[in-house]
Amino acid sequence: MRFWLSEDERRPDPEPVRTDARKAVLAGTACWLVALAAVVVWREPLDEAGLGWLLQAAIVGVALGVIALVVVQLRRRRAR
């Protein structure tokens, strides 16, 4: 049994699959928006419990999601 093949024995690499990452990015950003809303609603109890940092984490999550959506959209336009 051989673990590798020479170049002339190999089949050609398959074409990359085109995917739509926008749905995944939008779903993740929506989850961060829900988390942000929950943290804003329960801000005082979270601050008292020492979990005030969750607000910043949710804001960063939403911001990164928006940036990722822009990047995905730009890549999609360039691929056309």
| CA torsion, ordered 57, 62, 64, 65, to nearest 10 deg | 140
Distance (Å, whole) CA 31 – CA 72: 18
Separate counts of helices (H) and strands (E) for the chain: 3, 0
Summarize pLDDT for 26-54 with one digit per residue, the tens: 999 999 999 999 999 999 999 999 999 99
Q: For residue 8, what pLDDT is reported? A: 82
Is pLDDT larger for residue 40 or for residue 76?
A: 40
Domain positions in the chain: 22-79
Contacts of 43 (CB under 8 A, 6+ apart): 52, 55
Report the predicted TM-score, pTM, of the whole model to 2 decimal places: 0.76
CB-based contact 54:46 (threshold 8 Å): yes
Summarize pLDDT for 55-65 with one digit per residue, the tens: 999 999 999 99
